[in-house]
Amino acid sequence: MRTRPLKVALLGCGVVGSEVARIMTTHADDLAARIGAPVELAGVAVRRPSLVREGIPAELVTTDATALVKRGDIDVVVEVIGGIEPARTLITTAFEYGASVVSANKALLAQDGAALHAAAEEHDADLYYEAAVAGAIPLIRPLRESLAGDKVNRVLGIVNGTTNFILDKMDSTGAGYQEALDEATALGYAEADPTADVEGFDAAAKAAILAGIAFHTRVRLDDVYREGMSEVTAADFASAKEMGCTIKLLAICERAADGASVTARVHPAMIPLSHPLASVRGAYNAVFVESDAAGQLMFYGPGAGGAPTASAVLGDLVAVCRNRLNGATGPGESAYAALPVSGMGDVVTRYHISLDVADKPGVLAQVATVFAEHGVSIDTVRQQGKDGEASLVVVTHRASDASLSGTVEALRSLDTVRGVASIMRVEGE
C-alpha cells in the first residue's frame, strides 16, 4: 500500500458533509485498505466556522473555499454545498488545479453537467456524482457501468422522498394534500418552503441527469416536462383505487417507440398496485429501469438524509481515489448518441380523465365523439349519475399527450361538460 495519503478537500459541512467527515475519520483504516492508500481530510470549507463540528480539528476548518481548492496538493474535492454558485466555480477551479471532484449537487449537474464534464475531461480528472440522484441508492454507477452493454428504454423513478411520503400518507389514510403535507413538515420530511419538492423541481433535475446517462444523450433541465403533485386530491386516490392503482410522483425518461428520440418528464401518475414501484412506502426512493437485455430492474433505498447521501459520496471517493492511484479516470460523459429530446406533446401514454357532465341522454355520445375526432381511443368509461349531474370517468388507450390535450380542450367547450375534474396519466403497465 502507498503510505503517502491522498488529500481530500471537503466543501460544505452540513448534514451530508459532517457525515462524510465523520466516516472518513472513523473508517480511515477500511478506506485505506479499499483504496490502496490512506486518505486524509486536508481541509473543510464552511460558511460559519463558529458552529462547532464534532470530531473535525479546528485547524482544518476554513471559510475560504477558493483558497482550499487552489492549494495545489488536493487530490479530490468533495462538493456538498449544493446550489449553482459558488459550487460551479469551485468545481471548475478544482479541475484547473488538478483535483478530481465528487459532488452531490443535482441542481448543478442537471443545469451544467455538460460543461462540468468537459472541464473534467480537459484536465484529465474525474467527476462523480452518485449522491446527486436518489441518495444512497446505487443508480448512476449501475446505469453508467453495469448496463453499459445494454440498451435502456425506460427509467421510471420515485426520486423524491418528500412527495412520496405525502402521497403514501394520502393513499393509506385518505388524507387530503394539505393535511399530509402538514404531517410531512412536522416530521421533518418537508421543508418550510416545500416548493422544490412538491412542484417537481427536485425530481426534474434528477430526471435530466438520469435521462442523460441512460440514453447517452445530453438532456438539459429545460428539456424536462414538469408538473407538481399539489393538486392531487383524495378523490384522485379514490379513482386510482377503483382502477387497482395508486398515485406516485414519477420521473419518467423514455426512448420513443421508434428509438429516434427521447423524452423526460415529472408528473403524478397512476400506477398499478402490482407494479414494484407501487409498494415503495414513506420517504423511500426507487427507480425502475427497463432495458433490452436485462429486462426489468429496480433499485430501492433511502433517497436522502445525511448518512445515506454520505455513503454514496464515499463510494465515489473510493472510486476516484483508486482511479488516481491507477493514473486513470473512470467513464466520463457519454453523450455520443445525441438523440433529439422531444417535448411533452410527443409522449405516448394512457390517461384517466374525470369529467363533470350533465346527466341527460346523448352526453356520452358527444364526449365519445370528441375523443374519436382527436384519434384518442377509449378503453373504459364509467358513468355515475346524481341529481341531474353525472361524473364520467374515461380511461383511454395509449395516445399522444398532444392528442389528449386537444381532446380535453374540445371537451371543455362542450355545453354538457361542466368541468374537467382531473386528468391523470396511467403508467407502468
300 binds a second copy (CB under 8 A): yes
Segment 191-195 long-range contacts (CB within 8 Å, at least 24 positions apart): 191/162, 194/162
Q: Give the angle subtended at the CA of 415 by the CAs of 409 and 418, to the nearest 5°.
A: 75
- Closest to a second copy by CB, 294 vs 364, is 294
Torsion of CA 174, 176, 181, 183, to 10 degrees: -50
Query: Backbone phi, then psi, for 5, in 5-degree steps?
Result: -75, 155
Nearer to a second copy, 327 or 362 (CB): 327
- Out of 106, 141, 267, 374, point to the residue binding a second copy (CB under 8 A): 141
Enclosing H/E stretch for 138: none
- Of 2, 25, 30, 235, the residue at the interface with a second copy (CB under 8 A) is 30
Dmax over CA atoms of the chain, in Å, equals: 85
295 binds a second copy, rule: CB under 8 A: yes
Nearer to a second copy, 34 or 70 (CB): 34
Q: Site residues for a second copy, window 323-342 (CB under 8 A)?
A: 323, 326-329, 331, 334, 336-337
Instruction: Select the span of 22-30, 167-175, 259-267, 340-348 touching a second copy (CB under 8 A).
Output: 22-30
Binding mask 260-279 for a second copy (x = CB under 8 A): ----------------x--x
DSSP string, 112-176: HHHHHHHHHHHTT--EE-GGGTTTTS--HHIIIIITTTS-EEEEEEE--HHHHHHHHHHHHH---
CB of 49 to a second copy, least distance (A): 25
Distance CA 424, CA 186 (A): 29
Judged by CB under 8 A, the stretch of 106-114, 302-310, 383-391, 421-429 that binds a second copy is: 302-310
- Helical ranges in 327-400 per DSSP H: 363-373
Q: Residue 132 interacts with a second copy (CB under 8 A)?
A: no
- Catalogue the active-site residues: 206
Q: Of the two residues 164 and 291, which places its CB atom closer to a second copy in the complex? A: 291
Distance, in Å, from the CA atom of 91 to the CA atom of 119, rounded to the nearest integer, reads 9
Name the grid cell of 115: 460543461
Which CB, 34 or 418, lies closer to a second copy? 34
What is the contact surface with a second copy in residues (CB under 8 A)?
19, 23, 27, 30-31, 33-34, 130, 136-138, 141-142, 145-151, 216, 276, 279, 291-302, 305, 307-308, 310-319, 322-323, 326-329, 331, 334, 336-337
